[in-house]
Each structure stands twice: as C-alpha cells, then as structure tokens.
Amino acid sequence: MIAIRDLGFSYGEIPVLKNITMTLEEGRIYGLLGENGVGKTTLLTLLCGLKAAKAGSINTDGHNPFDRDPSFLSDQYYLSDEVAAMNMTALDYAKSYGHFWEKFDMDKFIEIMGIFENDPGKKMSKMSFGQLKKTYIAFALACNTRYLFMDEPTNGLDIPSKAQFRKAMTKYTREDSVILISTHQVRDLENIIDPIIILDRQDILLNASLEEISEKLYFDYSTVKIDNALYCEMIPGGNIQVTLNTESKDSKVNLEALFNTVHQHKELIKGIFSK
C-alpha cells in the first residue's frame, strides 16, 4: 500500500502539487488522468523516488521512496514516456539490466515480446518508436515488481499494439501489485484501469472506483437530450450525457465524458465523492 499525505512539490517558486492525500491499494490498476502540466509525471517520479517531496510524505509499505533503499528499488519500476534507443539488441538489454530486479523473468520478457510481435534479437537503435516502447513495456512487466508506475505507455502504439498492451497488462501483472498509469489516451485503457484518479492543478478532483462512479453518476446514451445534464456531447446515433444518478440506475462509465464532466463541475464533483 502507498499512503500519500499532504504531499507538496514545486519547481522553484512554481507550485505543482499541494496537499495531495490519497491511498493506493494493492491489486489495483489506477488510471491517472489530468490536463498537461498538472503534475502527473511529477507525481510518478515522487512515488518512485526520483524526486524528493517538498512537503508532506509518501509511505510505501514503510519506505520513503527518496531514501532509494536497494531492496525497495528492486521491487518497483518506473516506465518513462521517453525511452532510450540503446545500441544493443532487446535481448542483450534484458540480460544486462534485468539483474537489477530480483524477480526479473527472462522467459516472461521473451513471451511478452512475442505477444507484441517484437523481435528480441533486433537492435533497439534500429526499432521504430512503437517497437521500442513495446520493448520497454515487456521489460517492465518481466521485472515482476510490486510497484509499477507507467507514464503514457500507449503513446506511439498503433491500434493492434494497444490491444496487445491491454492483454499483457491483464495477464502478466502481479495480483498484489500497485500499478499507476498516467495517460491522456483514456480509450486505450478504458477496460483495464480502475480506480480513476483525476488530477487538477495542486488538487485531486476525483479518486474513485468505476463502481463508485456509476453509483453517483449516470451515463446516458440516447437521442433524447436531458435538460439538467452535467455534460452532453454528440456522438454517432445520438448523445452521451452525464447526470447525477438520482434513480440508482446502472450505466457504463465513459472515461472521456467523465473527465470533461469533472472539469466543468469541479467543486460539485469533489463534494459528491467526498461524502
């Protein structure tokens, strides 16, 4: 479990995160959503210990990430949005760097590379950006870490690769792992991320499971416009509309519509989900 309490961080005089408090529990794949510049990447780097908090604390099962304890580092992996094109084959990279993670599984790495239709014998410097991204995703999953932080992992992936990514995430992550994925591509991850965290400038607007969201908000897919809808968007065949779920009806959460609803009604949504 990761307990974040009153976390604050700034770049010089510019505050990015302020009084962030939340708990990340094992066995969950959290989706971290937010506009550019709200601090999603900063939060990930704080959680993995690459940056030190300016205020508050992060407690990861008794560890302060910035202490950089070797046993702690071997049980976490941070996949940056930027990936390096190393001048070696993917297989040689895995052999060289896998030693830093105690539970690294070479057979799993090769198996996931197969799912991605990626050649482990190919030089990384000769790979396309998408192939390179899939190589690092395969390596991250093969490390078998308890804590996995991923920053925009589907950027650069084509449509088949995004389906392969979802398959790999559901098949090869540990049941006791804590996974946090930052993304703008919510449709790519709509079926695997739950709970949903929406980060605003210096604030958390929402941190809730899909079940909690569907209990409090209703997502209507019809041709009839609802006058008191919190959000409405035209889609082929009608509209998607978000209303308060006053009648306890079931509906499928649409993450894009949820994100837009939250940003148009920040204080209302915070009030609803803080109860």
Per-residue model confidence as pLDDT tens digits over 81-116 = 999 999 999 999 999 999 999 999 999 999 999 999
Q: Which residue has the higher pLDDT, 223 or 45?
A: 45
Kindly state which CATH superfamily the domain 2-207 is placed in. P-loop containing nucleotide triphosphate hydrolases (3.40.50.300)
Q: Does residue 236 surpass a pLDDT of 90?
A: no
Q: Does residue 146 surpass a pLDDT of 70?
A: yes
Q: Does residue 29 surpass a pLDDT of 90?
A: yes
Q: Does residue 191 surpass a pLDDT of 90?
A: no
Predicted local confidence at residue 42, as pLDDT = 96
* Averaged pLDDT, 257-262: 96
Predicted local confidence at residue 275, as pLDDT = 67
* Averaged pLDDT, 64-80: 94
What pLDDT band is residue 238 in, cutting at 50, 70 and 90? confident
What pLDDT band is residue 253 in, cutting at 50, 70 and 90? very high
Query: C-alpha 141: how far from its chain's center?
Result: 14
Q: Does residue 130 surpass a pLDDT of 80?
A: yes
Mean pLDDT of the chain: 94
Whole-structure pTM value:
0.94
Q: Does residue 64 surpass a pLDDT of 90?
A: yes
Q: Does residue 181 surpass a pLDDT of 70?
A: yes
What ranges do the domains of the chain cover? 2-207, 209-273
Q: Does residue 207 surpass a pLDDT of 80?
A: yes
* Averaged pLDDT, 172-198: 93
Beta bridge partners of 178: 28, 147
